């Protein structure tokens, strides 16, 4: 009898906790609406679909040496159906033809500054930058957020700082000291509570690692801001909401209504199961690279061809054809439209069925740079049996998975579902190179 009473009591307690959480969430929504005035602007209606593409831009502003160069450019897709936020950093040194002026070339970080000053219009500068990002990625941009250093620091200070795990000792001997010189910046390995000033140093540092690593640190900080908002207390405080609203109003240039920004922040921070997918573009992949990474679609051209400038180009482009963005569009398509690949964690192995050597590694690098999972060890082998046709075997993963659907955008050959791996010890996807691989140049459309 006592046992039954205890069970009933536990169930009642669970129901009460659930009810309290629901009431808390509803109360937070009411507070948010009340603080923001409850105003229903046309641009702030619910989106008709589940995706929203936002271009996040960071610049120095104020008294910075180059206040309007957009050294941080991140295209972000918020997928509320699958609860994934996908971020892709575009390197500031990417060399492009400027939109609207066929004769003008330069680094992509100068587009906003050029057109903003030319037309004396911040929105026109962002429109032209957005146009170029769409050209490079194939992704339509719905909104933009443009913030300077001071705004970045104030937002982080307003929410009480952010927690960042520094994975290894971090040293930059050439961090700008603000007066034309340099100072040494050090963050030791471990968990840090960063205020706005230190967070800015962490995302600005260039000489500690590389620009490519810096782009992922920037995304890491954005996620830390989201996690701080997720902590639960922030949206229950009208004072904090109003304070953050005022910081946005003062420091952020955007074509999103301010109340929608906060409501959007509430949406992505109130759902703990939102995942973050971080991606960049880098120069890690070349034909026989043994350290190819996701996003390796760039290369460094000869400096003398570009007036001595140190720049980056997308594979397939050169000084005579700067607008060939086929590879970056394919990469962006995988990042933003097949974003469940990371969640599915389907390992890919490559097997050569031919007696011709050195075929598997370059193909494996093609898979890697688009984000498919190729383990660093025991992922390349031989079948011992010659195949006429290149094939892809898959097991323990649905034919409707993002991984398989993404592979079909690159390979039009035969896919065969098996109950277990054919040649590997546990890979869900096995690519077998056949004779046709040597004959048909475009059998894989990487």
pLDDT in tens, 314-340: 999 998 888 899 999 999 999 999 999
- Domain endpoint, select from 230, 261, 280: 280
- Residues whose CB falls within 8 Å of the CB of residue 384, separated by 6 or more in sequence, listed in order: none
Helix 2-35 and helix 258-270, axial crossing angle in degrees, nearest 10: 160
Q: CA nearest 57: which of 44, 73, 46?
A: 73
**Biggest distance spanned by C-alpha atoms of the chain:** 87
Give the H or E element holding residue 135: helix 122-137
Residues 183 and 207 occupy one common structural domain: yes
What radius of gyration, in Å, describes the C-alpha atoms of the chain? 25
Q: What pLDDT is attached to residue 39?
A: 44
Residues 349 and 424 occupy one common structural domain: yes
Give the H or E element holding residue 312: none
- CATH code of the domain containing 415: 3.30.70.2390
H helices of 235-319, in order, are 238-251, 258-270
Residue 367 burial by Cβ neighbours in a 10 Å radius (0-12, 13-18, 19+) = buried
pLDDT at 407 over 90: yes
CA distances from 68 to 113, 117, 274, 330 (A): 5, 9, 32, 30
**Is 407 part of a structural domain of the chain?**
yes
- Domain endpoint, select from 280, 295, 313: 280
Residues 177 and 230 occupy one common structural domain: yes
Instruction: Give the chain's count of helices (H) and strands (E).
Output: 13, 19
Judge contact between 272 and 230, C-beta under 8 A: yes
- CATH code of the domain containing 162: 3.40.630.190
**Is 269 part of a structural domain of the chain?**
yes
Residues 63 and 200 occupy one common structural domain: yes
Give one DSSP letter per residue of 81-119, joined into a string.
TTTEEEEEEPPTTBEEEPTT-TT-EEEGGGHHHHHHHHH
**Is 397 part of a structural domain of the chain?**
yes
The number of domains in the chain is 3
Residues 391 and 259 occupy one common structural domain: no
Which domain does 29 fall in, by range? 1-35
Residue 412 burial by Cβ neighbours in a 10 Å radius (0-12, 13-18, 19+) = exposed
**Is 131 part of a structural domain of the chain?**
yes
Give the H or E element holding residue 430: strand 429-433
pLDDT at 41 over 50: no
Residues 73 and 24 occupy one common structural domain: no
How far is residue 19's CA from residue 37's CA, in Å, rounded to a whole number?
A: 27
Residues 172 and 126 occupy one common structural domain: yes
Q: Give 96-110 pLDDT, tens digit per residue.
A: 999 988 789 999 999
Residues 366 and 437 occupy one common structural domain: yes
Judge contact between 215 and 89, C-beta under 8 A: yes
Residues 116 and 252 occupy one common structural domain: yes
Q: Give 2-25 pLDDT, tens digit per residue.
A: 555 555 555 555 555 555 555 555
Residues 212 and 77 occupy one common structural domain: yes
Q: What pLDDT is attached to residue 15?
A: 59
Residues 125 and 148 occupy one common structural domain: yes
Residues 162 and 260 occupy one common structural domain: yes
**Is 326 part of a structural domain of the chain?**
no
pTM of the prediction? Answer: 0.86
**Is 68 part of a structural domain of the chain?**
yes
**Is 320 part of a structural domain of the chain?**
no
**Is 23 part of a structural domain of the chain?**
yes
Q: Give 341-398 pLDDT, tens digit per residue.
A: 999 999 999 999 999 999 999 999 999 999 999 998 889 999 999 999 999 999 999 9
């Amino acid at each position: 009898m006592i046992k039954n009473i205890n069970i009933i009591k536990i169930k009642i307690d669970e129901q009460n906790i659930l009810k309290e959480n629901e009431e808390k969430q509803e109360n937070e929504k009411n507070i948010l609406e009340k603080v923001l005035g409850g105003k229903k602007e046309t641009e702030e209606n619910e989106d008709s679909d589940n995706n929203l593409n936002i271009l996040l831009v960071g610049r120095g502003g104020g008294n910075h040496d180059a206040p309007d160069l957009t050294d941080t450019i991140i295209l972000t897709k918020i997928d509320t159906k699958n609860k994934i936020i996908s971020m892709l950093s575009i390197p500031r040194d990417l060399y492009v033809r400027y939109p609207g002026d066929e004769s003008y070339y330069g680094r992509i970080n100068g587009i906003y500054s050029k057109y903003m000053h030319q037309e004396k219009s911040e929105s026109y500068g962002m429109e032209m930058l957005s146009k170029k990002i769409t050209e490079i990625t194939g992704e339509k941009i719905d909104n933009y957020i443009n913030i300077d250093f001071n705004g970045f620091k104030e937002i982080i200070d307003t929410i009480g700082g952010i927690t960042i795990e520094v994975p290894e000792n971090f040293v930059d001997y050439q961090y700008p000291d603000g007066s034309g010189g340099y100072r040494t910046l050090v963050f030791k390995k471990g968990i840090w509570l960063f205020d706005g000033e230190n967070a800015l140093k962490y995302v600005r540092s260039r000489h500690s690692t590389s620009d490519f690593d810096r782009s992922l640190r920037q995304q890491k900080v954005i996620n830390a801001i989201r996690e701080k908002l997720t902590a639960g207390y922030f949206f229950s405080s009208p004072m904090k909401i109003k304070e953050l609203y005022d910081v946005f109003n003062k420091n952020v240039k955007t074509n999103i209504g301010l109340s929608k920004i906060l409501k959007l922040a509430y949406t992505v921070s109130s759902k703990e199961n939102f995942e973050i997918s971080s991606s960049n573009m880098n120069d890690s992949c070349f034909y026989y690279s043994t350290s190819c990474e996701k996003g390796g679609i760039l290369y460094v051209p000869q400096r003398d061809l570009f007036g001595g400038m140190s720049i980056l180009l997308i594979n397939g482009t050169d000084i005579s054809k700067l607008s060939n963005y086929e590879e970056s569009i394919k990469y962006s398509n995988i990042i933003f439209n097949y974003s469940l690949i990371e969640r599915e964690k389907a390992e890919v192995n490559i097997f050569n069925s031919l007696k011709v050597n050195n075929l598997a590694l370059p193909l494996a690098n093609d898979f890697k740079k688009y984000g498919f999972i190729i383990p660093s060890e025991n992922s390349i082998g031989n079948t011992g049996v010659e195949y006429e046709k290149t094939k892809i075997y898959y097991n323990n993963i649905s034919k409707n998975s993002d991984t398989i659907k993404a592979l079909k955008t690159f390979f039009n050959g035969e896919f065969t579902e098996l109950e277990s791996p054919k040649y590997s010890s546990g890979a869900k996807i096995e690519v077998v190179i056949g004779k046709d691989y040597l004959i048909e140049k475009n059998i894989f459309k990487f």
